[in-house]
Amino acid sequence: MQKNARMKKELEQLEKCPPPGAHCWPVDGAIDHLEAILFGPQDSPYEGGSFKVEIRIPDRYPFEPPKVEMKTSVYHPNIDDVGRICLDILKMPPTGGWRPSINLYTVLTSLQRLLAEPNPKDPLMVEIASEFEMNINKYKEKARQMTRQYAMENEENDHNDNSKAISGGKRSAAATQDSHAQKRAKS
């Protein structure tokens, strides 16, 4: 009961005033399954990219953090190959910083910040974290390359229907954003 009331309020807030650089919406009207798009932060190797995120709300929310997974491939020390995200507020205490007062707006803002400011001291991808610390220019170039490949529209995707735009086994976030915008325009 508390989860439903809280989620209704949070979804209304996200609809009226989304966090900078992010949009979030329910999947098929479900309040416990959401999708979001994070736009690559300016002056980062992710700039210009659109990154799809899947959010699952547990039954005990807000007393447990949402399960968040990056669906767009990204070269980042805190996001692994299958989309798991290492972010303090997505973990329960004592090792994590989740509190019931944290909401989805804060989660999306924190994810946006993580893209802008990776944390190589707490990596999921040790090799990428080492590269970030030892050769940041190489890291930035690889991150830009993957952003262009997986998080941006390209000629290959322009020739395909957006609902079929698949990159590296994951649906392109830009295609998802376009598809979502088309659905909203029709309603």
Give me the active site residues, please.
86
Measured distance CA(159)–CA(41) in Å, rounded: 27
68: helix, strand or coil: strand
Backbone angles phi, psi at 38, to 5 degrees: -105, 130
For residue 49 the two structure tokens come to 């990219």
Q: What is the SS3 string spanning 77-141?
A: CCECCCCEECCHHHCCCCCCCCCCCCCHHHHHHHHHHHHHCCCCCCCCCHHHHHHHHHCHHHHHH
User: What residue type is 30 in one-letter code?
Assistant: A
Backbone angles phi, psi at 59, to 5 degrees: -60, -35
Measured distance CA(65)–CA(87) in Å, rounded: 11
Backbone angles phi, psi at 51, to 5 degrees: -115, 120
